[in-house]
Amino acid sequence: MTTTASVIDRLKSRIGVDGPAVMATVEAGHVRRFAEAIGDPNPRWVKEAPPTFLVALAPVSLHLAEAEEYGKGWLNGGNRFEYFAPVKIGDQITATGRIADVYEKSGSTGTLLFIVFETDYVNQRGDLVARLRGTTIRR
């Protein structure tokens, strides 16, 4: 049986290691449907994408088999976005994610595993347009 310390050590060894890149084009129809879905009629979204659109455009998935050995369920610990430049219709976006931190904390239901991840979104010119920092919790 795998120990909790072993799981954490294996996850920590992946800190800062980029996962596979995801590439996608910002298409006008996709942006329009997204804006309709979130109920935002701002005319600005005819030429550029709403801020949280990037998650729908290029969702990054880091397979964390090690974390599956820890606990029985997942919780979303929240997300924080930083925006550096507008994402325009026609942009080619590349999203690359990585683990930024791993730690344990005691909670009311026992020990919890926190995994902090970062995703960088870069356009076709190589400009960083946004960064997502999120936390997943394994209980």
What SS3 state is found at 15?
strand
Distance CA 50, CA 86 (A): 9
Span 10-51, pLDDT tens digits: 999 999 999 999 999 999 999 999 999 999 999 999 999 998
Question: Residue 2's pLDDT is what?
Answer: 58
DSSP element (H, E) containing 74:
strand 74-83
Buried b or exposed e, range 23-47, using 16+ CB within 10 angstroms: ebebeeebbeebbeeeeeeeeebee
Domain boundaries, the chain: 4-25+59-138
Q: Which fold has domain 4-25+59-138?
A: Thiol Ester Dehydrase; Chain A (3.10.129)
DSSP 8-state class, residue 85: S
